């Protein structure tokens, strides 16, 4: 069975600082991994995904994530935070065929001026 753990329900960074949002997963099969962003009262927007191939994936808005199989992690990073990055971020895993997504509990990112 798949599960996702996001450490830190709230993360606060200063504008221009590094953003690091943590995600660990468990999966009995090779996972597909995703990061989504959600703004208040809106749906999910895909930031990036890992399916196969290169373990460092780049997404929109300057975000990237690295799949580390040995650590069962897929942490999201951005070198320099912008005020517009303030939102809630969800890590998700699927069973390798895009069906049945399992979401983490989410991390709310606050960006201070």
Q: Would you tell me which residues interact with another protein (CB under 8 A)?
A: 36, 41-44, 46, 49, 90, 94, 97-106
Residues in the chain: 113
- Judged by beta carbon, residue 54 or residue 70, the one nearer another protein is 54
The count of other CB atoms within 10 Å of the CB of residue 103 is 15
- Judged by beta carbon, residue 8 or residue 16, the one nearer another protein is 8
Element (H, E) at 112: strand 107-112
- Minimum distance from residue 110 beta carbon to another protein (Å): 14
Output the six-digit token pair for 42: 């809106």
- Minimum distance from residue 105 beta carbon to another protein (Å): 5
- Minimum distance from residue 36 beta carbon to another protein (Å): 8
CB 53 within 8 A of CB 42: no
């Amino acid at each position: 069975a798949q599960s996702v753990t996001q450490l830190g329900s709230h993360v606060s960074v200063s504008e221009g600082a590094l953003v690091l949002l943590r995600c660990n997963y468990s999966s009995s099969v090779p996972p597909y991994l995703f990061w989504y962003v959600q703004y208040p009262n809106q749906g999910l927007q895909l930031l990036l995904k890992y399916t196969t191939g290169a373990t460092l994936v780049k997404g929109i808005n300057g975000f990237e994530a690295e799949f580390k199989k040995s650590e069962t992690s897929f942490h999201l990073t951005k070198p320099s935070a912008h005020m517009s990055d303030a939102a809630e971020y969800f890590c998700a895993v699927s069973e390798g065929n895009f069906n049945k997504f399992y979401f983490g509990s989410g991390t709310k990112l606050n960006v201070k001026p």
